[in-house]
Structure 1
């Protein structure tokens, strides 16, 4: 993908491996947030919101009438003007469509950060149109292990056989390095973590030096590591090399976003509910290299997860031997994978971060489920129906119930049901 860097770091644009996604304005119902990429096959890993939408419909919500979808570009900053302005219009239109009834919002993951920015910048508007906000798996204080590693080695959504039909980890890395939203999910350096998340690097100062050192970078020091490790990062597009170093303009923008997030005050008229995942090993600290296989040059970190399994030839071979995919992948990666220290969470967001919303919550509930699986978890559905006051197969008039907007993420998104779910 080739991106256009904006000096202020607020927005990125590009063309490449992303299929076009129609604007939610042309799709009155929640289709826009039903799956991660609109033209993708029905893979469980990317077909995010299908089950929740079906559950809400069974409870009496009507697509395009009391159940709406709000889709937005997950690459952009959570406080970019277009996203917030469009959300404001969506809230107002749902409010009017329901005859002046306030909206209930359900958000997932990064969608919660977009809403928090909206609250901070448009507090009066949020108070006017929103009744309840149900937040699921939001990285309020960041996602240390996943985001730190994403900036250095990339991000992988799908594993196993299906991964060969999806965006590769390294291609995703070259995209994320220019995404303001990723920088905005770096661990909050001002948050009082039980233990400060760190990045560790086993280093050999030089080829001639036999000594091995363990360098440790906390959230206030890791910027120097990102700068050095990404100094020679580049991608090739149409035969041309494009430099993609650590983007300081975007980082500065993200630091200002963190202040906006920290300053958010929930209106007293809005009920806030927080659901977060637990019981899954969640990356926290990450270590590159080892005492027996140290890193000489920090730029080596960015290539620790690159393997030669993406060619058409290799793909054909792997299709014939599906049972060997995991073993082959592990063989190709042996000795090069980063090592993680894990904490309790949903596998992506630490529980410590997800429950640190700082609001006067009506309820905060831990659910034993993984990050994306929370969107189809039966316990989560029970909580939603309880808090929304609805039941499956309910035939009651939606005019007497509430509208909702679902801020579910296509990697972030917002959905709306009788208020905007």
Structure 2
């Protein structure tokens, strides 16, 4: 999910305001947890940032962002009836995906974990792009399904706005992570619109076939974004779990059961067994992508939260699973329209969760509901720390280029090699660098030795 910046950062590069008419516009599309979310009071209209924030993070998160899925509408809806969740549209959509906590405290303390598309925005501005004319951002309510109406309509409006603002030039899309799945869903619903407005699509770290280790564990125990003392200033693992178990977008990133994995991802549980004679034994139970549903149902059957004095049950949501199954069918069959060039960048050389295990032979799980309060242990594969390279490469979309870059999931948004590739494919360059020609090399792999990092959802 972010590198060195400082207070009142002036930008790495500068550009002349007149140098904006010789390039196609770019729209940046964020992924899961990659957009600022505000809580807007329905009566007075005032807004409070609930994601991301450092101070009072967990308190505001639980008060304003806790939600429950409505199967009649397909949306997950906040429990706070007095407010609604909105994505700020400031700075032509770029504000919401730039620095996820844009407070003075974060900027002055150089807390770069909250810096998201910031470096890429600066890089593009340095290449001559102008905000509001040739550079735009698209953030959205990432709790919702990738094929839900508001997300689709919002992207349609953003493409149309960029097309019009640039004088009728087709758009180059750059998506990160789950944003790539959203674009695929958009193509399935609006292929003609996509062809009308889009010239090139560059996607980065997209979990085309799911993110097995991270998503399986997210549904069972939540997400810990930061470790150590910093965790006291951020949203807790439990709070994230209670939110995400009701989010269609999470279910839509479960491992694809129809994909031909080199090895099918598993959830492993050391379980205590008792026979009729009262004797106990320990066995290691394995659950593949299809069998894991029964595990989710059993482990989450007693999951609940307290909100405003009420107890609300939050078991594994079978209605969301059915919705997500249709989304997966759409993702499996959608193709990029002819005339649109597609490029895929994926992360490599980082230990990436794949199988996840709960309990141990010496300390087995008695009741499966205890999994939700246990610490996961992972087996790892190559990837970006969140999305396995095997999943991110498997786009099935016939790209112009598919390139592996040694970087973490969020680090790909701040990586010099990624910037070089983007400049190359867009046919632009910083003012102080020589113009780069477009390459046609397929499946090129860039790497350098790195230290493996902990996984991160966004």
Question: Could you give the per-residue CA deviations for residues 8-44 of structure 1, whole angstroms, max 9, x where no partner exists?
Answer: 472112267xx98764545425112103345583432
Aligned to 1:127: 195
- The answer for the alignment partner of 1:86 in structure 2 is 154
d(CA) in 2 for partners of 1:21 and 1:252? 25
Contact 1:52 1:376 in 2 (8 A): yes
2:221 corresponding residue in structure 1: 153
The normalised TM-score by structure 2 is 0.76
Aligned to 1:30: 94
Does structure 1 conserve the Cα–Cα contact (< 8 Å) formed by 2:305 and 2:312?
yes
Question: In the alignment, which residue of structure 2 is the partner of 1:358?
Answer: 396
Residues 309-350 of structure 1: CA distance to partner in whole angstroms, max 9, x if unpaired?
A: xxxxxxxxxxxxxxxxxxxxxxxxxxxx22111000000000
- Partners of 1:65 and 1:188 in 2: CA distance: 39
Q: Which residue of 2 aligns with 1:142?
A: 210
- For the aligned residue pairs, the C-alpha RMSD in angstroms reads 2.1
Secondary structure of the structure 1 residue equivalent to 2:305: strand
Matched residue SS, 1:354? helix
Indicate conservation of the 8 Å contact 1:107/1:134, yes or no.
yes
Contact 1:59 / 1:394 at 8 angstroms: preserved in 2?
no
Q: Which stretch shifts more, 3-12 or 346-355?
A: 3-12
Aligned partner of 2:336 in structure 1 is 266
Residue 45 of structure 1 aligns to a residue in which SS? helix
Q: Is the 8 A contact 2:145 2:249 kept in 1?
A: yes
Q: What is the CA-CA distance between 1:163 and the residue it aligns to? A: 2.1
Q: CA deviation at 1:146?
A: 0.2
In structure 1, the residue corresponding to 2:185 is in which secondary structure?
helix
Shift of 1:64: 1.5
Structure 1: how far apart are the matches of 2:326 and 2:93?
34
- 1:197 maps onto 2:270 in alignment: no
| Alignment partner of 1:294 out of 361, 364, 368 | 364
Give the Cα–Cα distance (whole angstroms) in 2 for the partners of residues 249 and 22 of structure 1: 24
CA contact (8 A) 2:89 2:96 kept: no
| Alignment match, 1:391 | 429
Matches of 1:139 and 1:257 in 2, distance apart? 14
Cα shift at 1:187: 0.1
SS in 1 for 2:281: coil
CA displacement 1:261-318 (0-9 Å, x = unmatched): 11211111011000000000000001111111100100000011xxxxxxxxxxxxxx
Distance 1:10 1:355 in 2: 30
Q: Distance in 2 between matches of 1:171 and 1:29?
A: 27
- Asked whether the equivalents of residues 134 and 273 of structure 1 are also in contact (C-alpha less than 8 Å), the reply is yes
Q: 1:375 to 1:46 in 2, by over 3 A?
A: same
* 9 and 181 in structure 1: CA distance in 2 versus 1, 3 angstrom threshold: farther
Could you list the runs of 4 or more consecutive aligned residues of structure 1 that deviate by over 6 angstroms after TM superposition?
Answer: none
Residue 278 of structure 1 pairs with residue 316 of structure 2: no
SS in 1 for 2:92: coil
Q: Is the 8 A contact 1:278 1:367 kept in 2?
A: yes
- Partners of 1:283 and 1:353 in 2: CA distance: 12
Unaligned runs of 5+ in 2: 1-61, 434-456
CA distance in 2, matches of 1:22, 1:77: 15
Count of aligned positions: 364
- Structure 2 SS opposite 1:211: strand
What is the TM-score with the length of structure 1 in the denominator? 0.82
Q: 1:295 to 1:255 in 2, by over 3 A?
A: same
Q: Which residue of 2 aligns with 1:344?
A: 382
